[in-house]
Amino acid sequence: MSVPLTLLGLIEREPSHGYDLKRDYDTFFGRGRPLPFGQVYSTLGRLARDGKVVISDVEAGDGPDRKRYVITDLGATEVDAWLTEPVEPEPHLQTVLFSKVMLSLMLQRPAREYLDTQRAAHMRRMRELHQIKKGDDLIEALLADHALFHLEADLRWIELTVARLDHLAQLVRR
Amino acid sequence: MRGQAIVEARDVVLSFGETPALRGATFAADRGEIVAVMGPSGSGKTTLLHCLAGILAPTAGEIHFAGGRIDNRSEHDRSSLRREHFGFVFQFGQLVPELTVEENVALPLLLGGARRAAALAEARGWLERLGLSGAHARRSGELSGGQAQRVALARGMINRPQVLFADEPTGSLDSLTGEHVMDLLVAAAREHGTTVVLVTHEPRVAVYADREVIVRDGLVHALAADRSGS
Ligand SMILES: Nc1ncnc2c1ncn2[C@@H]1O[C@H](COP(=O)(O)OP(=O)(O)OP(=O)(O)O)[C@@H](O)[C@H]1O
Ligand SMILES: [Mg+2]
């Protein structure tokens, strides 16, 4: 699940209150499924407990949104590792690939390099599946085919996204 | 580390009028290697292939084949080089519809001055091997897409080329037929130690290759190192 890492990335972009984080998440990542406030705060609580964010200034007043969260070195390292490492190539990666692209653009990281790394991981997995297909087992071959078609769909999306990175970067710029 | 390149493009620039198709493309394939050339439409894949094959002469940069520079040779020289050492398979067979299947396959040998009977016998051998022995006397215009691509493959391989240039060889076929053609293409290339430059935008076709490069905006990119393991 990429919600904690996405929130962490948004905090890296700019020290933020829970409310800002929810708004940015819903705008760019929620895709019509807003993040409940409860989940925002429970996630922030865990990130703080694990030393990935700290609370900078607590403003006077009531309500849960008095705290501003700032990323720590540990948190920044985690965001970097997440963006840099390709995810395990398997079908249904849409949300995580999408989040990584958006976030790396927001943080002005080399999104294109990440996508190429992901592409290489996908191609490598496809080669393995291709080898499986070359065996005699028809059932194995059919299952490999299913995975191959799905990974190919990911790759098409990756290629299309590479072609649109400049546009997308403008969209998330502010 | 790369081994010994059989065919190579060095910083190749080529424009069609105002349109820059290649903007410093560098590419090499080793002997016996199968390399997939991927990338979006219009990025310069076909242009790169045509430069490597000596069909187009680059505006700047060099093309090398088997250790010698070829882009500065005459059109006549390049054309005989193609006939002797290169084979071609294109997306839509590009067979000669008026000729029979076996005549189409034998064409490279006939153009090279081979005797007709010997050339046709050789063609039949290839047709048999590609599962088309029954079709040798038919007009190529009567073939299905998959059959036509197998005929094109036979024609591309009949002169035992050192390099086979394949531009979207499965582009017009369904998945299963495309796989069949690729299985045959790879088997034939491996058997004869033929280098293959395989242009395709389909990842499932590219995985037949030993490695792939991507052409974007007239430049060739090797894939970023895969850091996910090993
Ligand atoms: N004969 C030509 N005359 C003018 N422009 C050309 C010619 N051939 C190619 N181009 C242009 O050069 C660029 C590269 O074309 P090329 O055919 O190499 O692309 P491609 O990667 O093979 O694309 P596709 O996947 O669609 O086959 C394109 O902008 C194309 O319009
Ligand atoms: Mg092309």
Q: Starting at the earlier edge strand, list the strands of the sheet with B68-69.
A: B19-30, B5-16, B60-65, B68-69
> Distance (Å) from the C-alpha of residue A33 to the closest C-alpha of chain B?
31
Nearest CA in chain A to B225: A117
Please state the rounded mean pLDDT for residues A152-171. Answer: 92
Query: Between A and B, how many residue pairs show a Cβ–Cβ distance under 8 A?
Result: 55
Distance CA A73, CA A71 (A): 7
* Chain A residues with CB-CB distance to B202 below 8 A: 152
Q: What spacing in Å lies between the alpha carbon of B42 and ligand 1's midpoint?
A: 5
| Spatial CA neighbour of B63 closest among B112, B13, B111 | B13
Distance CA A109, CA A86 (A): 15
Q: Do the strands B195-199 and B163-167 form a parallel or antiparallel pair, or are they unpaired?
A: parallel
Report whether residue B46 contacts ligand 1, using a CB cutoff of 6 Å.
Answer: yes
Q: Do the strands B34-38 and B5-16 form a parallel or antiparallel pair, or are they unpaired?
A: unpaired
- What's the pLDDT at B228? 42
Joined tokens for residue B23: 């903007």
> Distance (Å) from the C-alpha of residue A48 to the closest C-alpha of chain B?
29
Half-sphere exposure of A153 (CA within 13 A, CB side): 10
pTM across the whole model: 0.84
Report whether residue B63 contacts ligand 1, using a CB cutoff of 6 Å.
Answer: no
* Chain B residues with CB-CB distance to A85 below 8 A: 227-228
Report whether residue B200 contacts ligand 1, using a CB cutoff of 6 Å.
Answer: no
Q: Do the strands A67-71 and B86-89 form a parallel or antiparallel pair, or are they unpaired?
A: unpaired
Distance CA B194, CA A142 (A): 30
Select the residue of B202, B207, B223 nearest A120 (Cβ to Cβ).
B223
Contact present, B4 and B194 (Cβ < 8 Å): no
pLDDT, tens only, A78-99: 999 999 888 888 767 777 888 9
Contact present, A109 and A12 (Cβ < 8 Å): no
Nearest atom in ligand 1 to B199's CA: 22
Bridge partner residues of A69 (DSSP): A16, A55
Q: How far is CA B208 from the centre of its chain?
A: 14
For all residues of chain A together, what is the average pLDDT? 89
Contact: A117, B224; criterion CB under 8 Å:
yes
- What's the pLDDT at B226? 45
Half-sphere exposure of B136 (CA within 13 A, CB side): 17
DSSP string, B150-173: HHHHHHHHTT--SEEEEESTTTTS
- What's the pLDDT at B125? 93
Which residue stretches of chain B have pLDDT < 50?
Answer: 1, 226-230
Amino acid letter, B183? D
Q: What spacing in Å lies between the alpha carbon of B44 and ligand 2's midpoint?
A: 7
Distance CA B181, CA A103 (A): 42
- What's the pLDDT at A60? 63
* Helix ranges (DSSP H) in A50-110: 73-84, 94-106
pLDDT, tens only, B187-229: 999 999 999 999 999 999 999 999 999 999 999 998 755 444 3
Which residue shows structure tokens 């943080």? A107
> Distance (Å) from the C-alpha of residue B203 to the closest C-alpha of chain A?
6
Q: Which residue has the higher pLDDT, A60 or B88?
A: B88
Looking at the CA of B37, name the nearest ligand: 1
Distance CA B75, CA A144 (A): 47
Joined tokens for residue A160: 């299309």
Report whether residue B47 contacts ligand 1, using a CB cutoff of 6 Å.
Answer: yes
- What's the pLDDT at A41? 93
Superfamily of the domain at B5-222? P-loop containing nucleotide triphosphate hydrolases (3.40.50.300)
Q: How far is CA B75 from the centre of its chain?
A: 19
Given a cut of 60, whether residue A117 has pLDDT beyond it is: yes
Distance CA B21, CA A73 (A): 45
Q: Which residue has the higher pLDDT, A32 or B125?
A: B125
Looking at the CA of B42, name the nearest ligand: 1
Joined tokens for residue A100: 């990584």
In this prediction the ipTM stands at 0.84
- Alpha-carbon torsion angle B149, B166, B191, B223, nearest 10: -130
Residue B71 in contact with partner chain A when CB distance is under 8 A? no
Count of Cβ atoms closer than 10 Å to residue B151 Cβ: 27
